[in-house]
């Protein structure tokens, strides 16, 4: 898809809105945390599971079966209670950085399911990928930013808001 001047203006307004906090990028990590997603990294999921399993195997061989199983189960509990939410935050962070990096990256992210842009002041006003029309969302909600001059600002502070549903 070719990038026209109007497309650049739409993206510029969206980028400014995300950076200033007027628009939030909401991620569904279960849809983005799979092969084919532009923000997916298999090591995010593999390492938190691989380390306790290998450590548990070493304890199992060196000390005993019971202690090895205790180490493995402890690692599983830590994974469920901590690492799943950490992975969701990492994916959200990666998605926001990708969204504001370039127009092409934004399009690559948008064509996959798992993200939505919503207004910060009212999360009912939004647009979900890939079927939603993000350009119309921009025109209807933040069109004044399409002509705004970009001024140097503070670095973007990324929050860990996502819609991860465990279960």
Q: Region 93-108: what's the mean pLDDT?
A: 88
Structure tokens at 73: 């189960």
Structure tokens at 99: 């969204």
Angle made by CA atoms 74, 75, 81, in degrees to the nearest 5: 90
Q: Region 45-63: what's the mean pLDDT?
A: 89
Q: Region 42-69: what's the mean pLDDT?
A: 89
Contact 21, 117 (CB under 8 A): no
Helices (H), the chain: 5-20, 29-32, 42-62, 65-78, 84-101, 103-110, 134-142
Lowest mean pLDDT among 5-19, 46-60, 141-155: 141-155
Confidence at residue 58, expressed as pLDDT on a 0 to 100 scale: 92
DSSP state of 28: -
Query: Which uninterrupted H or E stretch holds 27?
Result: strand 23-27
* CA-to-CA separations, 6 to 10, 59, 100, in angstroms, rounded: 6, 61, 17
Structure tokens at 163: 């819609």
Percentage with pLDDT > 70 across the chain: 86
Task: Write down the pTM of the prediction.
Answer: 0.74
Confidence at residue 1, expressed as pLDDT on a 0 to 100 scale: 47
- Does the pLDDT at position 162 exceed 70? no
Q: Mean pLDDT, the chain, as a whole number? A: 82
- Does the pLDDT at position 145 exceed 80? no
Confidence at residue 152, expressed as pLDDT on a 0 to 100 scale: 46
Measured between alpha carbons, how far apart are the two ends of the chain, in Å?
38
**Hey, where are the domains in the chain?**
5-122+131-147
């Amino acid at each position: 898809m070719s990038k026209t001047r109007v497309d650049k203006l739409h993206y510029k307004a969206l980028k400014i809105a995300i950076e200033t906090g007027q628009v939030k990028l909401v991620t569904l990590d279960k849809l983005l945390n799979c092969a084919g997603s532009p923000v997916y990294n298999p090591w995010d999921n593999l390492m938190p599971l691989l380390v306790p399993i290998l450590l548990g195997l070493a304890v199992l061989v060196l000390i005993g079966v019971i202690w090895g199983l205790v180490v493995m189960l402890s690692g599983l509990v830590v994974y469920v209670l901590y690492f799943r939410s950490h992975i969701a935050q990492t994916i959200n962070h990666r998605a926001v950085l990708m969204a504001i990096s370039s127009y092409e990256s934004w399009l690559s992210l948008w064509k996959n399911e798992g993200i939505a842009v919503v207004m910060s002041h009212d999360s009912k006003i939004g647009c979900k990928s890939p079927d939603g029309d993000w350009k119309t969302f921009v025109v209807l909600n933040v069109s004044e930013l399409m002509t705004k001059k970009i001024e140097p600002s503070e670095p973007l502070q990324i929050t860990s808001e996502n819609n991860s549903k465990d279960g």
